[in-house]
Amino acid sequence: MLKNNKNLTEQCADLASGKETSVSLTMKALDKAEEYSYLNAFVVLDREKSLDQAVASDKRRANGNCLSPIDGVPIAVKDNYLTKDYPTTACSGALPLEPSGQDATIIANLREAGVVIFGKTNMDEWAFSPTNVNSNIGPVLNPHNTNHVTGGSSGGSAAAIASGIVSAGLGSDTGGSIRMPAAACGIYGFKPSYGRASRHGVLPLSWSLDAPGPLASSLKDIELLLPYFLGEDSKDLSTVSSAKFEVVEHNEAINVIHLTGEGLERSDEIDTAVKRALEASSAVVKEAGLSHVDNYYEAWEAIIFSEAASYHQPLLKKNPGGFSSGLRAKLEAGSQLSALDVLQAQRLRSQLMHTFACELGDWDIIVTPTLPVTAPTLNEEEQEFGGKKVHAHKSMLWFCVLGNMTGYPCVTIPIGLSKSGLPIGMMLMGKPNEDEKLLAIAIKLESALKKHSV
């Protein structure tokens, strides 16, 4: 499906060459949004607001005042980013339906670059689910097969990109919420290192795990977008300063650790796809296991449940009816945890970081499948793979949580389709704060992969 759509890089070139205008791109996006409205990708989409921004962009370009290479491109925004002109509901009934009047730092950055903020996308209620079935406006459907989920919680952005409505979108990732829908929809998703992307104005789910990032149609698109995400922000004290964003071509050999074994199972067809992709690349691949994977998953749960419960306590007291019963139960479970549960979880987290940093030997990237199995159907409660039966939520999160527990940067790239026609993604994890190097390696690895397929 993607083959017929232009990616962000191509759209920018078309704008630069005059082949397209921001208005023509935005009109096409509006038409496609109508064509694919059955996917339920958008919470709100305003024709007039979008076209107003496009007209302004075209005027700038005509006057030689183009703000950036991405000036005029329509980009979809997950509904947990504050946007001054749209309400921000997090697909929950608990928040007011008036526009906040405020922009998240990343939104402000993109507006300064001239981007057309093209509507707000569907997501799991407060980002606290991995399927995008749990939204107060109903599930998002997978463009590859509408019986299947997109994965969540950034499912609306992923579906809008995979269906070609827009070439890129914004997501946030606490346990895989960018990478899971990107993989399930056959597109690209990047979770920055914890502390490199500003979270100011992005509604929190679990503040020690959350990372906002882009979903897009190519790695070059990600490279174009990341500068607007990364950078120290005095409004988010967790952000760190770093050198100017620059992706330098990676010419050295790539040392890959491919994580396998107990607790890291995947379906045969996904295993084959990842192994083929790694073989096709010129990388030096070493397989390694990881002990206590289940403990790490439980630690991640303790952290996200307790931090979400802590954050939501005031609003939950004030407006309990604004939350779904499912989410209320999760928040209640979080508030029942003890200090020792949470601190034990944090210690396991340090242990996992130590393992990755010191015990796996030399590596440039750590690779796993993004999902251990293709996306479940909308009603599927349990998935079977690698000799295990796993709740569909846990199977989605299977590998991705490792990225949030460590805070390391991760990118998912599509590596093919299953026999049933559903996308398969491969996840690459880089060293902390080396987001640029991770992207450079992903670009090199994918280009080797593409040569091999030709």
CB of 337 to a copy of itself, least distance (A): 4
Q: d(Cα 168, Cα 336) in Å, to the nearest integer? A: 39
Q: Which positions lie near a copy of itself, rule CB under 8 A?
A: 234, 237, 302, 306-307, 309-310, 313, 334-335, 337-344, 347, 350, 353-354, 357-358
Catalytic site residue from 57, 92, 135, 153: 153
Is there a catalytic annotation at residue 78? Answer: yes
Tokens representing 289 are: 């296991």
| For a copy of itself, the closer CB: 208 or 418 | 208
| For a copy of itself, the closer CB: 197 or 216 | 197
**Cβ-based neighbour number of residue 453 at 10 Å:** 10
Task: Show Cβ contacts of residue 162 under 8 Å, excluding neighbours closer than 6 positions.
Answer: 1, 2, 142, 143, 144, 150, 185, 186, 187
Q: Which of 151, 75, 139 is nearest to 113 (CA)?
A: 75
Catalytic site residue from 92, 177, 324, 395: 177
CB of 235 to a copy of itself, least distance (A): 8
| For a copy of itself, the closer CB: 234 or 251 | 234
Cβ atoms of 152 and 162 closer than 8 Å: no
Task: Show Cβ contacts of residue 299 under 8 Å, excluding neighbours closer than 6 positions.
Answer: 344, 345, 346, 348, 349, 352, 405
Cβ atoms of 261 and 289 closer than 8 Å: yes
Is there a catalytic annotation at residue 388? Answer: no
Task: Show Cβ contacts of residue 48 under 8 Å, excluding neighbours closer than 6 positions.
Answer: none
CB of 339 to a copy of itself, least distance (A): 4
DSSP, res 267:
-
**Cβ-based neighbour number of residue 248 at 10 Å:** 9
CB of 414 to a copy of itself, least distance (A): 33
| For a copy of itself, the closer CB: 97 or 358 | 358
CB of 328 to a copy of itself, least distance (A): 16
Beta-bridge partners for 121: 42, 78
CB of 237 to a copy of itself, least distance (A): 6
Catalytic site residue from 28, 50, 78, 395: 78
Is there a catalytic annotation at residue 325? Answer: no
| For a copy of itself, the closer CB: 86 or 128 | 128
Cβ atoms of 113 and 228 closer than 8 Å: yes
| For a copy of itself, the closer CB: 284 or 343 | 343
Cβ atoms of 210 and 199 closer than 8 Å: yes
User: Known catalytic residues?
Assistant: 78, 153, 177
